[in-house]
Amino acid sequence: MLNLELYKVFYTVAKCGSLTKASRELYISQPAVSQSIKQLEDRLGVKLFNRNHRGMELSSAGAKLLYKNVADALKLIENAENGITELNNTATGNIRIGATDSIFSHLLADKIVEFNQKYPAVGLELISSTSPRTIEKLKSGNIDIAFVNLPVEDEEVKFIDTVSLLSDVFVAGKKYKDLKDKTIPLKSLREYPVLLIEENTVARKSMREFLKSHGIELNPDIEVANWDFMIKLVAKGMGIGCIPREYCTKELARGELFEVNVSPALPVRGVGIALPAEGQIPFALRQFIKLFGGTAK
């Protein structure tokens, strides 16, 4: 079997012309260098070096030919290593990002633009779905990174960071202005038309479990597939909607919506970054994650 280390020692001794200098460059003892040269000579059946007052000289044309071939081979290996290093430290290729429409719009849009301006050679594929479906896409290898509503428990993915907190609040439009600046029991919302996000979402599951823990059941009059549509319906007086405050800040600031204070208030949720449980993270993806203050190995 080929012992690459013997040829590396041979190359270094020939290049340095000295056992002492070669041992320093290789960070091994001089006897170890001598032993390696002897092993290679025994293996090849030829004498590779002559000792003289100047040090170590290649002994024959054959040894000189061996030196050239070994030098070329080591250079090829070095170039391959450099290529791999460059690949691991160059933002190229594609990143497939999975998230909900709202996470893309409210939390990722600016970061995606920033990353594209910094690394224009990296292709970005944006794949929208609910958080549970996004996790499934991540597990099946159809996306490279997922931004999902928390909490999510799945041992087949790796959660590395929380990028934002979401405060679910009840909001209403001018039609329900009599509720403004009041605090009402959470259960009394059953007396009003209520809009909730669709059933198969993390947000809805989180709310349902919270209500259950307080002995409250709240059935929606209208189920909506996305937050932006719900904002429009609530502003038009269709009812009281439960929406993350972070997703309707503009409407609240303009007075199109106001918060309906309830007791107890809903708990704060998070949006997290999920990656495949196994596998190396490419350089471009690591740089994208850094924009959110996170790190991945």
* pTM of the complete model beyond 0.85: no
Rounded Cα–Cα distance for residues 9 and 23 (Å): 9
CB 122 within 8 A of CB 115: yes
User: How far, in Å, CA of 136 to CA of 64, rounded?
Assistant: 59
Q: What single-letter amino acid sits at 240?
A: I
**pLDDT for 222:** 96
Share of the chain above pLDDT 70, in %: 94
Please report which helix (H) or strand (E) contains residue 58, including its range: strand 55-58
Contact 9, 21 (CB under 8 A): no
Q: What is the pLDDT of residue 83?
A: 63
pLDDT value, residue 91: 64
Residue 269 amino acid letter: R
Q: CA-CA distances (angstroms) from residue 91 to 118, 236, 265, 294? A: 10, 46, 44, 17
Query: Measured between alpha carbons, how far is residue 131 from residues 73, 90, 98, 144 in Å?
Result: 50, 30, 9, 14
Low-confidence residues in the chain, pLDDT < 50 = none
pLDDT at site 103? 94
Spatial distance between the Cα atoms of 98 and 106, rounded to a whole number of angstroms = 14
Alpha carbon distances (Å) from 137 to 34, 145, 287: 57, 9, 22
* The pLDDT value given to residue 172: 98
pLDDT tens per residue across span 63-93: 788 888 888 888 888 777 766 665 555 566 8
Per-residue pLDDT, 89: 56
Residue 52 confidence (pLDDT) = 82
Tell me the per-residue pLDDT of 185-195, one tens digit each, with 9 for 90 and over. 999 999 999 99
